[in-house]
Structure 1
Amino acid sequence: MSALVRASHPEPTVAVTAVAMGLAVSLGRDGAGVAAVAVAVLSGQLSIGWLNDAVDAARDSLTGRADKPIATRAISRRTVTAATVVAALVCVPVSLASGVLAGTTHLLAVASGWAYNLGVKSTPFSVVPYALAFGLLPTFVVLGLPGSPPPPWWLPVAGALLGAGAHFANVLPDLADDAVTGVRGLPHRLGATGSRMAAGVLLLAASVVLAAAAPVAVFVALCVPVLAAVVLTTGFLAGRRDGSRAPFRAVLVVAVVDVALLLTAGHAVVA
């Protein structure tokens, strides 16, 4: 069970699920609605994480990834593949429990994650699934409200910017290993320095969009971009060490700060 959890990419899985739940609560969805969002997002993220490790099993073994349970034989690829299928099957009806439009939106987000794992990660368009999935995620939560109201423009835009920035930061520790196995997504083509710059610019842009557009106190809005800049600078400086995941953790922190900003807006998101 421990190996299965580690193969699911637990940090981003828990973070994304918590963000979706928090947004659902702040928008006033009832207990059943919040639970539906939580299970849908959790099952979708689990399917994406497990699929990633199942697809990359041979590459991870070739590069001796000690943090990958399949590569270390702590769990079999067959077991992780079976878990992927189960999570995907759970995700479909639970997503649709929020409504056909909202559920379809979430399933498109999950499909984007699957597309990344199944080949887009090795193309110049590797950032597109991240941007699409993270833009659709908050849209799914809002569309699940009574009447399926559309989200304000800045909500999916900020989500897409966060997702794109997360892509560049997430790949940084794996650039050397990916080069050995032939993976050449957009971050690999830009290199470590270019990817750090892209991640920083995208994440700061997300913070600025939220600070400028979300209906929150002026003081709070002014502080968020400054805090994001400090966190990102610290994380990327620490991330210059080979294999460091500090940039990705900095991304998660900034994402949490941005989401906290969003949650303070509450019902005004769809007012």
Structure 2
Amino acid sequence: MSATSAEALIRAAHLGPATAVTVLAAALAVSAGLSIERIVLVTAAVATGQLSVGWSNDLIDRARDRQVGRADKPLATGELSIAVTLWSCALALTATVILSLLCGIVPGLIHLGCVGAAWAYNLGLKSTLFSWLPYAVAFGGLPIFVVMAEPGAGPPPVWMPLAGAMLGIGAHLANTLPDLADDEATGVRGLPHRVGERWTRALSVTILCVASVVIALGSRSPPGGLVLVLLAAVAGLGCVALLAEGRTPFRAAVAIALADAVMLVAAR
């Protein structure tokens, strides 16, 4: 594979979201007190799973991306071959299955369920009223997988997968905001497209802010200085997301999701 193809393959993997989810999983593993070996295993399983999700997304959507002139999509522009992407996706998915099951049968199957939910979104759920569901399943299942990856560990408290699910739904709604018009033009009609930009923005902010409160209340220890600062930041960002125009609401919603992720990792 040439250097150009390798660079295009990396871009087709949705490296930003993939890295964010992988870092979140690694941070959760450290916070949960997993052994070094398990931290590495969990991180690798999540990383390969995210790569398979990113590549499958661009493979499935390449015609749509070409239709709306997405110059940032290597498969749509022809920079990257379908065969290379297919092989890479298959290898990543195979590695995900092996690495996940090495974490234990139960946690491994939970993680594969999370990856399966993301694939289901790519394969068609994104265009239905239930476009939010794969995000709820994947992000809600992630802390369960991470905590249970340590041998002998039980599931985390209910508030953790609940907060994770809300974080996923809020992130999904926020992520669609910049692309609502392009999605509509190519036949994608998920929940955000059905309720419109204004309600999508309001729902995203509300769900992400509620997730912040769930994390703060669910933690076994009283909210510390960091959590209180983040809660105050979430409140301010929520106001910005609801009142601002342009891309500012999207950026504010993403910032709230990031604050929720930090709180989730810091919670005990």
- Counterpart in the other structure of 2:90: 85
8 Å contact from structure 1 (residues 216, 261) kept in 2: no
Distance 1:233 1:80 in 2: 41
Aligned to 2:151, what secondary structure does the other structure show? coil
Q: Does 1:66 align with 2:71?
A: yes
Q: Does 1:261 align with 2:256?
A: no
Distance 2:7 2:56 in 1: 17
8 Å contact from structure 1 (residues 102, 148) kept in 2: no
Q: Does 1:8 align with 2:10?
A: no
Q: Does 1:33 align with 2:42?
A: no
Letter in structure 2 aligned against 1:75: L
Letter in structure 2 aligned against 1:259: A
Distance 2:19 2:254 in 1: 11
8 Å contact from structure 2 (residues 137, 165) kept in 1: yes
After TM superposition, the score normalised by the length of structure 1 is: 0.90
Distance 1:142 1:79 in 2: 35
- Counterpart in the other structure of 1:191: 196
Distance 1:61 1:236 in 2: 33
Match of 2:233 among 227, 231, 236: 227
Letter in structure 2 aligned against 1:102: P
Query: 1:52-201 maps to which residues of 2 (within 5 A)?
Result: 52-201=57-206
8 Å contact from structure 2 (residues 35, 150) kept in 1: no
Distance 2:180 2:20 in 1: 23
**CA distance 1:84–1:247, shift in 2 (3 Å):** farther
Distance 1:211 1:6 in 2: 36
Deviation of 1:232 (Å):
4.5
What is the Cα-based RMSD across aligned positions, in Å?
1.8
Structure 2: give runs of 5+ residues left out of the alignment. 1-5
Letter in structure 2 aligned against 1:255: A
Letter in structure 1 aligned against 2:92: A
**CA distance 1:10–1:233, shift in 2 (3 Å):** farther
Deviation of 1:9 (Å):
1.0
